[in-house]
């Protein structure tokens, strides 16, 4: 999954870095900031919305993950249920255990 999303995340970060004006860094340099301070006090705060967007998107995609854990551990999430995801829970309850009410409630949540 890391290789699947790494390119997308890098493109989003680079696009956001390109939107930061050099005038802001120049103003920071005039005020006496070094590279370290410029990064933590200018770059990181200006990229806050991108961090939040990527965390939300990563959480949503993580909850939708089904194929990779299913291929590795089948429906029971082997070994020892370590590969269980939300979609695997819905699949196990709905299609394997015929508990359609529990599966539909989990899918709704």
pLDDT digits (tens, 9 = 90+) for 34-84: 999 999 999 999 999 999 999 999 888 887 777 777 777 776 666 777 777
Q: What is the pTM of this model?
A: 0.71
**Distance, C-alpha 64 to centroid of its chain:** 11
- According to the model, what pLDDT value does residue 98 have? 86
| Residue 67 near residue 85 (C-beta atoms within 8 A) | no
- Where does residue 81 fall: left (phi above 0), alpha (psi -120 to 50 degrees), or beta otherwise? left
3-state class (DSSP) for residue 69:
helix
Instruction: Check whether residue 72 and residue 56 sit in a common domain.
Output: no
**What pLDDT sits at residue 56?**
94
For residues 104 and 74, state if they share a domain: yes
Judge if 48 and 75 occupy the same domain.
Answer: no
């Amino acid at each position: 999954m890391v290789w699947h999303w790494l390119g997308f995340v890098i493109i989003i970060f680079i696009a956001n870095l390109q939107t930061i004006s050099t005038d802001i860094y120049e103003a920071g340099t005039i005020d006496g900031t070094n590279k370290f301070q410029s990064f933590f006090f200018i770059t990181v705060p200006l990229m806050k919305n991108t961090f939040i967007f990527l965390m939300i998107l990563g959480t949503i995609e993580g909850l939708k993950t089904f194929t990779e854990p299913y291929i590795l551990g089948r429906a029971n999430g082997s070994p020892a249920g370590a590969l269980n995801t939300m979609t695997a829970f819905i699949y196990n309850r709905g299609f394997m255990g015929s508990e359609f009410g529990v599966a539909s409630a989990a899918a709704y949540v």
